Amino acid sequence: MTIQSILLPMFAQVALTFVLLFWMSILRLRALKQGLVPPQSVALREPNWPPRATQIGNAYHNQIETPLLFYALVLLALETRTADSILLVLSWLFVVSRVVHAYIHITSNRIDRRGPVFIVGAIGLALMWVIVIGRILLLPSA
């Protein structure tokens, strides 16, 4: 198990987040330039963006929330040397679930499809935390 292999899912998640960030920024800047949104109507994070900009913005914000726990976990697992192939598989499960979640969010945005995908990723992430916490508390290194 290499450090690079454990970090690769995290890098993929970061890439997804940046893609959505830049897409959202382009849509918001375009809306401002075209005069669709007066700057003062969004200056305090009011939800006055056009629907598509809001949809992509929501997909972006979703990539900031739960993935924060993923980033912390990956770094903790590396630091404590608790990362292994099980965590690698679960990491990819989490990241794939985030990609699928984002895809649904930016296309049909059907909650009945998005929700179960989110739950799969959340369960995988929670399981990773249980494994790492268990290894740290129950199997302390000498």
* The pLDDT value given to residue 1: 77
- HSE-up of residue 131 (Cα within 13 Å, Cβ side): 20
Task: Output the pLDDT for position 45.
Answer: 87
What span, in angstroms and rounded, lies between the C-alpha atoms of 92 and 82? 16
Query: How many CB atoms are closer than 10 A to CB 139?
Result: 8
CB of 128 within 8 A of CB of 73? Answer: yes
| pLDDT (0 to 100) of residue 141 | 64
| Sign (positive or negative) of CA dihedral 106, 112, 117, 121 | positive
| Domain 3-138, CATH number (from 1.10.1040.10, 1.20.120.550, 3.20.20.70, 3.90.1150.10) | 1.20.120.550
Provide the residue ranges of all domains of the chain, joining segments of one domain with +: 3-138
Q: Which residues, at least 6 apart from 136, have a Cβ–Cβ distance to it below 8 Å?
A: 80, 82
What does the pLDDT read at residue 138?
A: 92
Name residues of the chain where pLDDT drops below 50: 142
pLDDT digits (tens, 9 = 90+) for 79-94: 999 999 999 999 999 9
**pTM here?**
0.93
